[in-house]
Amino acid sequence: MDIPWWRDAVVYEIYVRSFADASGDGVGDLAGIRQRLPYLAELGVDAIWLTPFYTSPMADGGYDVADYRDVDPLFGTLADFDALVAEAHAHGLRVIVDVVPNHSSDAHAWFQQALRGERRDRYIFRDGDAPPNNWQSTFGGPAWTRLPDGQWYLHLFAPGQPDFDWRNREVHQEFLDVLRFWLDKGVDGFRIDVAMGLYKAEGLPDVPDQSFKAESPIWGRPEVHEVYREWRKLLDSYDGERMAVGEVWTDSAEDLALYVRPDELQQSFNFAWLQAPWSPTAFKQVIDDTLGAVPSATWVLSNHDVVRHRTRYETADPGTGLSRAKAALLMMLALPGSAYLYQGEELGLPEVKELPPEARQDPVFFQSGGELPGRDGCRVPLPWSGDAPPYGFSPPGVDPWLPQPALFRSMSVEAQAGDADSTLEFYRRALTRRRELRGAIPYNLEWLDSPGGALFFTRGELTCAINCGSGPVPLPPHHRVILSSGPLTGNLLPPDTAAWLHTE
Ligand code: BGC
């Protein structure tokens, strides 16, 4: 049976502002990505996901879109995009773009019209002397801003990101048209931003708290699924297995499964995986819950919104974070389904915590009054080469939009390429082995008995073993070791290490 490409794809997230700057303005761009396509093809990923590169005032790094059908001059032109898609395809890489349907920028033509007092029905405006309800912005502070004429508008994120009113059919038509625009340009799929937020409960009732609960008046309203049924019909009307993956934060795999019903999205991000602590019980629980609930699993450890997993896994013992990050990657790549990687994890980059307040750009930092550091620490421009900033990210002498720490010098692509012990070469080996196993192993996994602290599972001829405990454990029976995330001691799997074993 033919398996659609996305079902076991490894997708590499490119945070466009921080990947590669060809124009020399300190901000990553489409031309920079084009130059680095050979690197991505060699790394061994199947697809790239590009974060928003559309026209935007950058109130939230481009997740505030002013024109959904154009490229911001900061990132290039539509011609650059066309060339990027053609070249990516020539390298065998699929292209997924971000679509941001929950809100636009306040600079969008529709919101500008609304500000002039016309056609406010495409957004969520209300009268009143006080904010219409108690909703808080995800970034901090109230979710309502008042205009000089007295009306309030809703923004679940920054004030520069007004929420659309999806009860207005015109919004549906507009987004179907936006999707068609990019599908006609040859994109292979979409990552749907804030996919569970588009509909708000009728009457906009107060919430007791802001958590992502099924009964929330904000998140996961039943009406949202109608949107994805419309989108699925559109995707299926194109050839080439076009797909969509939803950014869906839920409390349970059952809620997640609602988004991937046969007539809805092909995939949803599985954030339970990145939220799991370093614990075999927690990992096993997420794996069982996921495989039991969704027909086509996805896995992700890091993205542009969360603290990098190397840093999340750190302990007082230096080196633990990286060992665990590599072991977790090996386990993730052995699981059924597709895996999403985040740029820089293949270099083992940590979260950059020491950014000075004046360098910070994330609205989370500002809207929380500096209380929360925000997400800049995982968005620091990549180190490609050289001995000093900008480490090949920008042309020499250019300051990248966020400062890079000195430790990036030894972590650049140039510093790691060809060094068999480097994280980069480990990723290359793991992705190559995964490709070799593709098609040869069944989708389903079986658990094997494992000693305390460890997890062992098999998929046909592949056995994956991970040791999350504090002492070494014997490896399960095998013919040969395919790959390990760190050195093995004879037949023993050391702590914070994973191995792939050949069992037939
Ligand atoms: C994106 C964020 C963005 C937010 C608002 C998210 O979930 O991934 O980076 O700030 O949506 O668009």
Neighbours of 79 (CB within 10 A): 10
pLDDT for the residue numbered 213: 52
Residue nearest atom 3 of ligand 1, based on CA coordinates = 63
* pLDDT score at 237: 98
| Residue at 161 is within a domain | no
Ligand 1 nearest-atom number relative to CA 363: 10
Among residues 135, 139, 126, 299, the alpha carbon closest in space to that of 219 is found at: 135
- 440 part of a folded domain: no
User: Where does ligand 1 bind, in terms of residues with CB under 6 Å?
Assistant: 60, 63, 100, 157, 193-194, 247, 304-305
Atom of ligand 1 nearest to the CA of 157: 5
User: For residue 12, what is the domain's CATH number?
Assistant: 3.20.20.80
Low-confidence stretches of the chain (pLDDT < 70) are 1, 209-214
Active-site residue 239, yes or no? no
Q: CB 263: neighbour CB atoms within 10 A? A: 10
Q: Do residue 490 and residue 363 come from a single domain?
A: no
**Same domain, residue pair 479 and 372:** no
Residue 137 falls inside a structural domain: yes
CB 57 within 8 A of CB 159: no
The token pair at 44 is 């061994």
User: Does the residue 310 lie in any domain?
Assistant: yes
pLDDT at 88: 99
Same-domain status, 137 and 207: no
The 8-class DSSP code of residue 103 comes to B
- Residue 34 belongs to domain spanning: 5-100+169-430
Q: Which residues contact 428 (CB under 8 A, 6 or more apart)?
A: 42, 43, 44, 346
For residue 202, being part of any structural domain is answered with yes
Residue nearest to atom 12 of ligand 1 (CA): 63
Are 120 and 186 contained in the same domain?
Answer: no
Q: Please indicate, yes or no, if residue 237 is contained in any of the structural domains.
A: yes
Q: Are residues 272 and 354 in the same domain?
A: yes
In angstroms, rounded to a whole number, what is the distance separating the alpha carbons of residues 253 and 290?
Answer: 6
Instruction: Identify the CATH number of the domain in which residue 473 sits.
Output: 2.60.40.1180
Q: Can you give the CATH number for the domain in which 117 is found?
A: 3.90.400.10
Q: DSSP of 121-167, one letter per residue? A: GGB-EE--SS-SS--B-TTSSBSEEE-TTS-EEE-SS-TTSPBB-TT
Same domain assignment for residues 483 and 351: no
Q: Are residues 320 and 253 in the same domain?
A: yes
Whether residue 121 sits in one domain with residue 253: no
485 in a structural domain? yes
- How many A from CA of 291 to the centre of ligand 1? 26
Strands of the sheet containing 480-484, edge to edge, are 446-448, 454-459, 462-467, 497-502, 480-484
Amino acid at position 267, single letter: Q
What letter would DSSP give residue 38?
Answer: H
Q: Which residues contact 208 (CB under 8 A, 6 or more apart)?
A: none
Same domain for 141 and 204: no
Atom of ligand 1 at shortest range from CA of 364: 10
Is residue 462, in this structure, part of any structural domain at all? yes
Q: Ligand 1: distance of its center to the CA of 233 in Å?
A: 25
Answer whether 196's CB lies under 8 Å from 218's CB: no
Residues contacting residue 16 through CB under 8 Å, at least 6 positions apart? 28, 29, 30, 33, 50, 51, 52, 53, 62, 75
Structure tokens at 432: 């190559």
Do 229 and 323 fall within a single domain?
Answer: yes
Give the chain's domain count.
3
340 and 477 share one domain = no
Would residue 193 show up in a list of annotated catalytic residues for this protein?
Answer: yes
Strands 473-474 and 492-493, sheet pairing: antiparallel
pLDDT for res 2: 81
Do 230 and 127 lie in a common domain? no
